[in-house]
Amino acid sequence: MPTKYIFITGGVLSSLGKGLAAASIANLLESQNFKIGMLKLDPYLNIDPGTMNPFQHGEIYVTDDGAETDLDLGHYYRFTNTFLSKLSNATSGQIYHEVIKKERKGDYLGKTVQVIPHITDEIKKRILLASKQKKVDFIFIEVGGTVGDIESLPFLEAIRQFKLENNNSINIHLTYVPFIKSALEFKTKPTQQSTQILRGIGIIPEIILCRCEKQLSDDIKSKISLFCNVKKENVIEAKDVKKSIYEVPLEFHKQGIDKKICHFFKIKYRSTNLTEWKSFVQKIKNPKEKIKIAIVGKYLNYRDAYKSIYEALLHTAYHNYLDIDIKKIESDKLANLKNLKQVHGILIPGGFGKRGWEGKILACKYAREKKIPFFGICLGMQALIVEFARNILKLKKANSTEMDPKTKYPVISLMIEQKKIENLGGTMRLGAYICSLKKKTKIAKIYQTNEISERHRHRYEFNNEYKKLFEEKDIIFSGILKNKTLCEIVEIKNHPCMFGVQFHPEFKSKPLSPHPLFNFFIKKALECKKKG
C-alpha cells in the first residue's frame, strides 16, 4: 500500500512529550506488523545538535551512520524497530544550507529564492527521502517546538502543502489541558487557542492528544471537540502514567488510537500483539528488590542530558524485577566520598571538558579499592585509565591531553595525534564501528560473541604507547577496533565488575532487550547489595 504520513505537532508549551507520543503510537502500529518510519524536524538553525550545550538541548543521540541527532530519536529506537539514519532528523540549518548551496550553484536559474516555495519544497523533499530510505507503511513526522513559534512556520507551511498534495496524511496535535487547583477544574482555552493557530495556518488536526494530569470528563472532551472542530471520539487523553513512560502505548491502545488511525486511512485494523510489552510493564509494577546506582557526571541538573543512560538502567532493572534508585552526584562537587557510600554500583557517563574531571577519577579510585561494581562509558573509561595509571602504575601526573595538553604521561590522547583512523567526521569518531573481542575475557562472556557493533561519539582515545605497561598490571584490553589497534574496552582483572568502554552502549538498549553490558552491571550491583 502507499506510504501513509502522520504529522505530530505540539501546542501551548514545550516538553509535553511529542516524541514519546509519536513513538508510542508507532509502537502500536508496529505491533500490527505494519512497517514504521520516523522523522524529527527541528526548527533551530544549527546544522545538527552536535555542538549544543547539554543543558539546553539534552543528550545527542547518535545513529549507526554517524549522524548527531535529537534525543527524540532515542525514543523512536527504544519503542520501535524503525530504521534510523541521518535522514531521520532534519533541522532548519540543514534545510537553509541546502537551499543556499543550490542558489550559489545556479540551480534556481536566477529566480528569487524565498521561503515559499524553495524552503518548503526542500522540507517536503526531506519528508519523502525519509519515507523512502526503507519501504514503510506509515511514517511519523514530528515537528519540534510549539505551534506559534516563528521558526517553525516554514515546517507547518510545508505540512499544509503536503496534506493538500497527498491524501495519505493526517495531523495529530498534542496540547495541554491544565487542571487549575484553585478552581478545581480543567481549562480548555490553551487547547482551543493552540488549535486555532494551527487552523489559521491551514492545518486541521484529525486527532487531538490532550496532555493532562488525570482523566478528562465527557463534558471537557465535548467542549474540546466543539471548539476545535474534532470529533469527540478523536479527543484522546495523554494523561500522566503512574510508574513509567512504557505504560503510554498501553494507555493509548485502551483509547483505540491505533484503530482510529486505520479508520482515517481506510485500512483494515489488524490484531495488535502487545503480549511482550504488557509483560514488561508488569515487571515494572512488581519489583522484588531495590538497588542504588550512583551516576557521577556533570550535567545532572538536566535529566535529558543523560536520557539514554537513565533509560538503559531502567530497562535492565525492570527486566530483572528490580526497582532502581539513581543517585545523581555532580563530579565537580565530589570532594566527600561519603556520597558514594551505600551505593551498589557506580556509573560514569560520557562528556567533554575539564570541569568535574578529578571528581570522576576519585570515583574510579573508590570503586576499584572498595570493589564496587563500576561501569565507565566513553569519558568514564578514560577516567578509569587515568586513575589506574596514577595510582597503580605510579605515573602520578598521568592525564588526558584533553584536560592537560602538556601532561608528562598522555595515557589518553587526541585520535588525530595517533593517526590511527580516517574519516572521523570532523574531529570526532561518530557512528557504528566493529569491535573484536578477546576470547575468554569477561566482556566476551557477557556478549557471547567474538565481534560487536557499537556507536561512538568522542575525540580522544587510549594511547597505545602505554598498552604493555597496563597489561603488566592486570588491565585487560578485551575489545579492539576491528583491523586496527585502538582500544575499545578495558576491564580490571581482579575486580568483580570494573570495566570501561569507549563507545555508547546506552544508544542500543531497548525495554524488551536490555543491553548486555548494562545487564551484567545491574546483576553485579544486586550481588553487591546482598553481600552488604
Domains of the chain: 4-280 (3.40.50.300), 287-531 (3.40.50.880)
In this structure, what C-alpha cell is assigned to residue 7?
504529522
Of the residues 378, 487, 497, 528, only one is catalytic, namely 378
pLDDT recorded at residue 426? 45
**CA end-to-end span of the chain:** 59
> Coil, helix or strand for 402?
coil
Residue 402 catalytic? no
Burial 424-436 (b: 16+ CB within 10 A, else e): eeeebbbbbbebb
Residue type, 184: L
The 8-class DSSP code of residue 97 comes to: H
CA distances for 165 relative to 159, 160, 207, 219, 475, angstroms: 10, 9, 20, 36, 61
Of the residues 435, 504, 515, 528, only one is catalytic, namely 504
CB 493 within 8 A of CB 476: yes
Cα atoms found within 13 Å of the Cα of residue 151, Cβ hemisphere only: 15
Sequential pLDDT tens for the chain (532 residues): 899 999 999 999 888 999 999 999 999 999 999 999 999 999 999 988 888 877 777 899 999 999 999 999 999 999 999 999 999 999 999 999 999 999 999 999 989 999 999 999 999 999 999 999 899 999 999 999 999 999 999 999 999 999 999 889 999 999 999 998 888 899 999 999 999 999 999 999 999 999 999 999 999 999 999 999 999 999 999 999 988 999 999 999 999 999 999 999 999 999 899 999 999 999 999 899 999 999 999 888 888 899 999 999 999 999 999 999 999 999 988 877 788 988 999 999 999 889 999 999 999 999 999 999 999 999 999 999 999 999 999 999 999 999 999 999 999 998 644 444 444 344 688 999 999 999 999 999 999 999 999 999 998 999 999 999 999 998 999 999 998 889 999 999 999 999 999 999 999 999 999 999 999 999 999 999 998 7
pLDDT recorded at residue 438? 95
Determine which helix (DSSP H) or strand (DSSP E) holds 498, and give its type and residue range. strand 498-501
CB 421 within 8 A of CB 343: no
Residue 378 catalytic? yes
Neighbours of 74 (CB within 10 A): 26
Neighbours of 369 (CB within 10 A): 10
Task: For strands 451-458 and 429-437, give the pairing.
Answer: antiparallel
Please state the separation of Cα 409 from the chain's center in Å.
35
> Coil, helix or strand for 73?
helix
pTM to 2 decimal places: 0.93
What whole-number distance in Å separates Cα of residue 229 and Cα of residue 206? 9
CA distances for 239 relative to 72, 74, 80, 252, 270, angstroms: 19, 22, 21, 10, 26
pLDDT recorded at residue 483? 85
CA proximity to 458, closest of 485, 426, 499: 426
Of the residues 402, 506, 515, 528, only one is catalytic, namely 506
Residue 504 catalytic? yes
What whole-number distance in Å separates Cα of residue 152 and Cα of residue 147? 7
Find where cell 555508547 sits.
504
Beta-bridge mates of residue 173: 9, 208
CB 497 within 8 A of CB 374: yes
In this structure, what C-alpha cell is assigned to residue 50?
552536535
What whole-number distance in Å separates Cα of residue 372 and Cα of residue 58? 29
pLDDT recorded at residue 341? 87
pLDDT recorded at residue 418? 43
What whole-number distance in Å separates Cα of residue 166 and Cα of residue 391? 65
Answer positive or negative: Cα dihedral of 296, 298, 301, 307: negative
